């Protein structure tokens, strides 16, 4: 393995959205840094089974729905 080309592998602290913390090894940041998560498996609908909500920013969903309204897609 070549020397000096790989990022350092060190411990950091991770703070979940509910405030719980854990320590992990990573190449992110520096030794002892803290990573605060905005989305994690405890709060994201993909893991919790919660419903999802489509946000129509810029009217993209409306444009799509209008364009393909005759294909049998339901809102």
Write the Ramachandran bin of 4: left for phi over 0, alpha for psi from -120 to 50, otherwise beta. left
Quick one: pLDDT at residue 35?
Answer: 95
pLDDT of residue 64: 81
Say how far apart CA 22 and CA 24 lie, in whole Å.
7
pLDDT of 14 reads 96
Per-residue pLDDT of the chain (75 residues; tens, 9 = 90+): 788 898 899 999 999 989 999 999 999 999 999 999 988 888 777 777 766 666 666 677 778 888 888 876 555
Strand partners, 64: none
Question: pTM of the full predicted structure?
Answer: 0.55
């Amino acid at each position: 393995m070549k020397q000096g080309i790989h990022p350092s592998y060190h411990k950091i602290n991770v703070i979940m959205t509910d405030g719980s913390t854990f320590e992990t090894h990573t190449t992110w940041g520096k030794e002892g840094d803290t990573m605060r998560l905005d989305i994690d498996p405890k709060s994201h609908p993909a893991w919790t089974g919660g419903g999802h909500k489509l946000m129509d920013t810029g009217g993209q969903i409306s444009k799509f729905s209008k364009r393909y309204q005759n294909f049998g897609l339901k809102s």
